[in-house]
Amino acid sequence: METKEGNKKLTRSLAVTAVLLAICMVSQIFKSLSVYITGPVINLCLILAAMSAGLLWGSVLAVITPVTAFIIAASPVMTAVPMIIPFIMLGNEILVLMTHFLLKPAIADGKPLLGVKPIAFSVLASAAKGAFMGLTISLWLLPSMIPAESPLRGKMGVFQATFSLVQFVTALIGFVYFFILWKPLKKVLEGGRP
């Protein structure tokens, strides 16, 4: 009986992750319009994966989404510095880990969704992702990997903001979407109706 229940849970987690990956891939098509469209959607999907499918599946999504972003709509900076991809993966992983270990317990067992702890943990997770990517990508990787004579040097300020402050803001927006969508989505995931 436990094996049947375990298989059902695994299938559900895999299906949820596949749907979230599909949503991420569709949003990446619109990446050229604005990072404020794609970024919050991807962060929302990472948060939802950690909350509903579990840590493993959230981590899988954290690793896959930068690769699909590179394949679907690689930015000039990603093409010039492909070493950026592992650091984006790690930034995503920080968000997933903090969501799983801080936010999930803070709203478990009927605790309020919009309390001081869930909001504080969401801000902390967003700040941790932005800070990590800012320190590793913006302050170290891009300045050391983009040659001085490259035309990309002229956009260094934009790239550095994109991989630091913008990461923080888009993660925060992803959490706002999460707080709006979590209750009805949780009912659907548990087999009920919204």
Q: The whole model's pTM is what?
A: 0.94
Return the pLDDT at 7: 86
Short-list 32, 97, 95, CA closest to 69: 32
Return the pLDDT at 192: 58
Quick one: CA dihedral 45, 50, 53, 59, positive or negative?
A: positive
Asked if residues 133 and 88 have their Cβ atoms less than 8 Å apart, the reply is yes
- 10-residue block means of pLDDT along the chain (194 residues)? 78 94 94 90 98 96 96 90 97 98 93 93 98 97 93 92 97 98 87 60
Asked if residues 46 and 98 have their Cβ atoms less than 8 Å apart, the reply is no
Return the pLDDT at 70: 93
- Other C-beta atoms closer than 10 Å to the C-beta of 2 total 6
Return the pLDDT at 69: 93
Return the pLDDT at 117: 95
Task: Write down all domains in the chain, each with its CATH number in brackets.
Answer: 2-189 (1.10.1760)
Asked if residues 12 and 57 have their Cβ atoms less than 8 Å apart, the reply is no
Return the pLDDT at 128: 98
Quick one: CA dihedral 181, 31, 14, 44, positive or negative?
A: negative
Token pair 């404020």 is found at 36
- Distance, in Å, from the CA atom of 9 to the CA atom of 75, rounded to the nearest integer, reads 37
Report DSSP letters for 35-96, one per residue.
HHHHHHHHHHHHHHIIIII-HHHHHHHHHHHHHHHHHHH--HHHHH-TTHHHHHHHHHHHHH
Return the pLDDT at 5: 79
Return the pLDDT at 2: 60
